[in-house]
């Protein structure tokens, strides 16, 4: 049964250089539609009395299943032409958390992160080990080719062309594509030279929510960096960097140049400023994103939520796919700076 306490949800679909010049009206519409669908899915869970952890998952699953965002289905390719996905989730009431890094066969990484939180004794599982754990859980596994999209494949080709070092490396023995191709040559040759409006975007999706019990949650999911090497781990699966939730301060999901977000411990730092300095969430987010990170030259942003259900956005890049549902249930979505 639904209770009468306020509920709230806010999401992001990545921040970075999103250029209107390269955006078609059709694509813009598609982004707004996906953001709206994700918000509706999360909000529906909350209105029914579901938990913020469930709502965060419901919203993120929509974005993971869309090829438009760099998470789940739309994940970018690594240097080895594989897809390695990361995700994390955290519950503000208990500080319980779950995270996975570098998985390649999980359709919805955010669901596996949630299962790590509730069904394992651990917080963070990585690589093949995380997939072994997944096999004991009710989570959908997919073949690597599920993550093939022409757009991401072309992004990798472009980066490899622009980076001579990378091209050289792509021919070496570590080129897994040669032996485990999940991509037909004919598919490659049909690829267009389309320029996407957000090729320089840090692709990540995330959500923060407040449920009827007054509990906050935050979650983040990503396909990482195009052409990433060496089992690089960004901020998305790092509790304290990409994701943090504490009922005593706020819930945060971050998106940006992960290395800077780890070094600045972005998600936890925003919460710590709210908790210890006693400032508002918008001010705390702006201090970290618009001042601290700008000085470090780290690009990106956060979506945050207060224990009262106020959604906050802060980003130092040209745009951030984002949206929230207000107290009356009205849905707002946006892409560029305002």
Quick one: which segment of 5-13, 52-60, 224-232, 319-327 binds its own copies (CB under 8 A)? 224-232
Residue 204 sits at φ, ψ, to 5 deg, of -160, 150
| 281 lies in the binding site for its own copies (CB under 8 A) | no
**Shorter beta-carbon distance to its own copies: residue 109 or 323:** 109
The minimum distance between CB 166 and its own copies, in angstroms, equals 12
Calculate the CA dihedral of residues 47, 307, 329, 315 and round it to 10 degrees: -130
Q: Out of 24, 132, 181, 308, which residue is the one contacting its own copies (CB under 8 A)?
A: 132
118 is annotated as an active-site residue: no
Cα distances (Å, whole numbers) of residue 97 to 51, 238, 240, 246, 318: 15, 10, 10, 11, 31
Total residues binding its own copies (CB under 8 A): 44
Restricted to residues 236-275, the positions that interact with its own copies (CB under 8 A) are: 238-241, 244, 258-259, 262-265, 268-269, 272-273
Applying CB under 8 A, does 29 fall inside the site for its own copies? no
The minimum distance between CB 78 and its own copies, in angstroms, equals: 9
Q: One of 24, 78, 204, 220 is an active-site residue; which one?
A: 204
Question: Which pair of structure tokens corresponds to residue 302?
Answer: 């956060």
Of 83-122, binders to its own copies (CB under 8 A) are 90, 95-97, 101-102, 120-122
Which among 77, 103, 335, 108 is positioned nearest to 219, based on CA atoms? 108
Spatial distance between the Cα atoms of 244 and 287, rounded to a whole number of angstroms: 17
Helix (H) / strand (E) containing 244: strand 243-246
- Is residue 200 near its own copies by the rule CB under 8 A? no
* First-residue to last-residue Cα distance in the chain: 38
- Give the CA count within 13 Å in the CB-facing half-sphere of 243: 39
Tell which one of 194, 277, 326, 336 touches its own copies (CB under 8 A).
277
Beta-bridge partners for 12: 206, 322
- Minimum distance from residue 255 beta carbon to its own copies (Å): 16
Residues that bind its own copies (CB under 8 A): 90, 95-97, 101-102, 120-130, 132-133, 174, 229-234, 238-241, 244, 258-259, 262-265, 268-269, 272-273, 276-277, 296
């Amino acid at each position: 049964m639904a209770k009468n306490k306020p509920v709230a949800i806010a999401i992001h679909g990545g921040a970075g250089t999103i250029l209107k010049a390269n955006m078609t009206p059709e694509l813009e519409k598609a982004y707004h539609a996906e953001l709206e669908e994700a918000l509706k899915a999360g909000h529906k869970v909350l209105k029914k009395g579901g938990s913020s952890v469930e709502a965060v998952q419901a919203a993120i699953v929509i974005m993971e299943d869309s090829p438009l965002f760099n998470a789940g289905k739309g994940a970018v390719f690594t240097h080895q032409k594989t897809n390695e996905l990361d995700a994390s989730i955290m519950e503000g009431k208990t500080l319980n958390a779950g995270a996975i890094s570098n998985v390649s066969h999980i359709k919805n990484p955010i669901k596996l992160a949630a299962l790590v939180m509730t069904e394992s004794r651990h917080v963070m599982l990585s690589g093949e080990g995380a997939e072994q754990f997944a096999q004991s859980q009710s989570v959908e596994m997919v073949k690597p080719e599920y993550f093939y999209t022409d757009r991401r494949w072309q992004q990798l080709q472009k980066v490899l062309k622009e980076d001579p070092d990378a091209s050289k490396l792509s021919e070496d023995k570590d080129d897994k594509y040669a032996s485990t191709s999940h991509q037909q040559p004919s598919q490659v040759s049909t690829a267009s030279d389309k320029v996407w409006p957000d090729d320089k975007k840090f692709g990540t999706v995330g959500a923060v929510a407040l449920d009827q019990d007054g509990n906050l949650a935050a979650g983040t999911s990503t396909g990482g960096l195009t052409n990433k090497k060496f089992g690089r781990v960004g901020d998305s699966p790092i509790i304290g960097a990409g994701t943090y939730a504490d009922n005593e301060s706020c819930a945060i999901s971050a998106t940006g140049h992960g290395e800077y977000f780890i070094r600045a411990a972005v998600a936890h730092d925003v919460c710590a400023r709210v908790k210890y300095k006693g400032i508002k969430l918008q001010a705390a987010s702006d201090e970290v994103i618009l001042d601290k990170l700008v000085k470090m030259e780290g690009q990106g942003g956060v979506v945050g939520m207060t224990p009262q259900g106020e959604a906050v956005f802060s980003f130092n890049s040209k745009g951030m796919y984002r949206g929230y549902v207000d107290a009356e249930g009205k849905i707002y979505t946006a892409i560029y700076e305002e």
